[in-house]
Amino acid sequence: MSLMEHGAVRPVAAVAWTSNSSTCPKDFTLISITEDGATANFTRSFAMKSGYYLCYSKDLKGGMVVSDIRLISDKDSIPHGYCFIAEHLEAKASVWKKKRVCIRMVPVGSVDTAVLDIKVTAKSKMMLQHYTYVGDVHGYVLWCRKGHFSNPMPQAKPRSVSLDLRQLSIDQPVAPLPLRPSNPPPPLPNNKLSQRRHSLHNKDTGDKSADGSIPGLTALDGVPFSLHPKFDIQANSTALQLNSQLNNIRIKSLQDIKNEYNYTFAVEESAAKRIRPSVPAEGVPSAQ
């Protein structure tokens, strides 16, 4: 059984066009001869002196693999998730655009099957066993083989340990220290403290838990609280006067308001009903 059937072959990671071996990228394999012994030089026309070759790479440093290869015409739109292969050509060279090779790139960890090998034949009647027909271009036929591949195990990166191992000893456990505020509020006079805070100072420390906190208390417990002098009745004598004024306020009913502020507009109505005196016209004697 071959290595491909065992799944011990690395998948194809990239496919490209190249003018010759000098322009072929590093770590790429150039397909210069077809499976039937012909030169795998793709030429655009008979008058061209130089053509281009197909090459592929199995370098998995980029973390991507080729999961599928397709050959489409210039009238078809590229399928979703596919891209045209790269071109590493000479300055004035170009690739025939009537049919173009496109591939699908996926992360190496997202699939377990991918393209394992690419071959080219010069005769369309020749069949390659275990290979899938991709398409024909310029008299050449493109084939690919798919299958399971061996994913190299990633090497663990060394990690630097900066902790002191002596502090990790379990023989001498250290009890956690209670949390303390880094900037406590300034002390207030005793007469301004609330009764709850005052009781906290006098409470027995035996009720505290192991970590130094008092069970049953919230974050607001212990916060100093005092009334503003404006609202302190015992400290402000004006509050008594204010209370006496509030007690003298009489709440009026709707009928009391109508009786007090009722206005009939009788004077205005009588003035509007008076007959205005007529003014005699010029040249007409008035009656005696």
**Could you read off the pLDDT of 8-65 as tens digits, one per residue?**
789 999 999 998 889 999 899 999 999 988 888 887 555 555 678 899 999 999 999 9
> What is the pTM (predicted TM-score) of this model?
0.50
**194: in domain:** no
**156: in domain:** no
Instruction: Decide which of 100, 119, 148 is a domain's last residue.
Output: 148
Q: Contact 45/39 with Cβ under 8 angstroms?
A: no
State whether 125 and 245 are in the same domain: no
Q: How many CA atoms lie within 13 A of 18 on its CB side?
A: 19
pLDDT of residue 178: 62
pLDDT of residue 275: 66
State whether 23 and 126 are in the same domain: yes
* Structural domain for 128, as ranges: 14-148
State whether 245 and 132 are in the same domain: no
**220: in domain:** no
State whether 141 and 243 are in the same domain: no
pLDDT of residue 169: 52
Sign of the four-CA dihedral 141, 83, 21, 119: negative
State whether 127 and 244 are in the same domain: no
**175: in domain:** no
**221: in domain:** no
Instruction: Decide which of 117, 148, 179 is a domain's last residue.
Output: 148
**Positions of the chain with pLDDT under 50:** 1, 192-193, 205-206, 288
CATH of the domain at 54: 2.100.10.50
**268: in domain:** yes
Q: Contact 15/63 with Cβ under 8 angstroms?
A: no
pLDDT of residue 1: 45
pLDDT of residue 288: 45
State whether 136 and 262 are in the same domain: no
pLDDT of residue 13: 94
Sheet holding 64-73, edge to edge: 64-73, 99-107, 82-84
**248: in domain:** yes
State whether 21 and 139 are in the same domain: yes
CA of 248: how far to CAs of 34, 132, 241, 245, 256, in Å? 114, 104, 11, 5, 17
State whether 139 and 242 are in the same domain: no
pLDDT of residue 177: 63
Structural domain total, the chain: 2
Instruction: Decide which of 115, 148, 181 is a domain's last residue.
Output: 148
**76: in domain:** yes
